[in-house]
Amino acid sequence: MAGSRRRGSGAGDEQATATGPELNGLVVSHLGKGLAVEAEDGAIILCHTRRRLGDAAVGDRVLWSACGQDQGRVEAILPRRSLLTRPAYGGKIRCVAANLDRVFVVIAPTPEPDWLLVDQYLAVCQNRDIAVEIVYNKLDLAQGAHDAALEDYARIGYPLHRISAKQNLGLDALRQGLAGHCSMLAGQSGVGKSSLTNTLLPEKNLRIGEISERSGLGRHTTTAATLYHLPGGGDLIDSPGVAVFGLAEITEQSLAWGYREFQAHIPNCRFNNCRHLKDKGCGVREAVEAGAVSLARYERYSRLLEKLISPDAVA
């Protein structure tokens, strides 16, 4: 999705005047109404944006111009290879992260996995062309109770990492999966995302301090999504306030497409607008009855479809 280069007026344009050429940068955090932009030399620049530019997200590549010492203005958002969004108040859509390559969905033996939430993550990412891998944390507490459900995901091609952040089990393979990519962890509260993030990012607090110091706005400003560079290569966007990124911009048809095992059977449906529920001649339901599609996954699809049609119907 290409960014805008329009030169409009507005409060954002009047705050400062650019004094240099347009430079490449990377949005690493939101700081109040501004952005922390990492310059090519690693310096953190506090930038404001042109009002008509649109919302910039953490992970965006941008062009910026210097407006003073350690301050700048974002002139353009460069084309994105992916954008993750979530519903916001008033029917609006908020950007969660840009240029993500993959999302690691974290679950654990406790709390009991919310498989409906897992499927929601997977369906959204499938439609955003963002790869997904599943992380089963707290392996030291596992008793095999979730093996069947995990096997359903492995069978349809989702990589699975069985780890224990507490006991440092399985982390080397996870680090290899993160290397060279821009990634984000997602999952319900209590599954150990914070502990895992701290393990993967041993210098996280130093990075927070650096961003806060360079911006001059204080440490409390970095509680939103922040992009960190991983020691082994690649980037990790930590978004502690977004446990669920919702079904923003997902239609009934794209929800079904988001269940990747449905895709081979959707062309077999008699009607193009098939919802795959009680529709006659539904290829997906026939695949479920034949055992080619997981019944549990199909039942969760039905619940998510109900949630999509009537948002208050499913908690």
Domain CATH number, residue 259 = 1.10.40.50
Does residue 128 share a domain with residue 73?
Answer: no
Does residue 19 share a domain with residue 104?
Answer: no
Does residue 232 share a domain with residue 157?
Answer: yes
Q: Do the domain assignments include residue 91?
A: no
Domain end residue (candidates: 77, 112, 127): 77
Range of the domain at 287: 252-309
C-alpha distances in Å from residue 181, one per residue of 14, 224, 272: 37, 21, 37
Does residue 225 share a domain with residue 115?
Answer: yes
Q: What is the pTM of this model?
A: 0.87
Q: Do the domain assignments include residue 218?
A: yes
Does residue 285 share a domain with residue 221?
Answer: no
Q: Do the domain assignments include residue 58?
A: yes
Q: What is the pLDDT of residue 244?
A: 67
Does residue 169 share a domain with residue 104?
Answer: yes
Q: Do the domain assignments include residue 190?
A: yes
Domain end residue (candidates: 48, 77, 106): 77
Q: What is the pLDDT of residue 311?
A: 61
Domain end residue (candidates: 180, 205, 238): 238
Does residue 135 share a domain with residue 41?
Answer: no
Q: Do the domain assignments include residue 243?
A: no
Q: Do the domain assignments include residue 163?
A: yes
Does residue 71 share a domain with residue 23?
Answer: yes
Number of domains in the chain: 3
Does residue 106 share a domain with residue 206?
Answer: yes
Residue 216 burial by CB count (10 A; 0-12/13-18/19+): exposed, middle or buried? exposed
Residue 207 belongs to domain with CATH number:
3.40.50.300
Q: What is the pLDDT of residue 241?
A: 61
Does residue 261 share a domain with residue 232?
Answer: no
- Report the alpha-carbon distance of residue 50 to residue 6 in Å, rounded: 9
Does residue 216 share a domain with residue 105?
Answer: yes
**Residue pLDDT tens, the chain, 315 long:** 434 333 333 334 445 566 678 999 999 998 878 899 999 999 999 999 887 788 899 999 999 999 877 789 999 999 999 999 888 788 788 888 999 999 999 999 999 999 999 999 999 999 999 999 999 999 989 888 899 999 999 999 999 999 998 898 999 999 999 999 999 999 998 999 989 999 999 888 777 777 777 656 554 444 578 999 999 999 999 987 666 677 888 999 999 999 999 999 999 999 999 999 989 999 999 999 999 999 999 999 999 999 888 765 444
Q: Do the domain assignments include residue 244?
A: no
Write the secondary structure of the chain as one string of H (helix), E (strand) and C (coil): CCCCCCCCCCHHHHCCCCCCCCEEEEEEEEECCEEEEEECCCCEEEEEECHHHCCCCCCCEEEEEEEECCEEEEEEECCCCCEEEEECHHHCEEEEEECCCEEEEEECCCCCCCHHHHHHHHHHHHHCCCEEEEEECCHHHCCCCCHHHHHHHHHCCCCEEECECCCCECHHHHHHHHCCCEEEEECCCCCCHHHHHHHHCCCHHHHHHHHHHHHCCCHHHHHCCEEEECCCCCEEEECCCCCCCCCCCCCHHHHHHHCHHHCCCHHHCCCCCCCCCCCCCCHHHHHHHCCCCCHHHHHHHHHHHHHHHCCCCCC
Does residue 289 share a domain with residue 191?
Answer: no
Residue 60 belongs to domain with CATH number:
2.40.50.140
Inter-residue contact 58 to 29 (CB < 8 Å) = yes
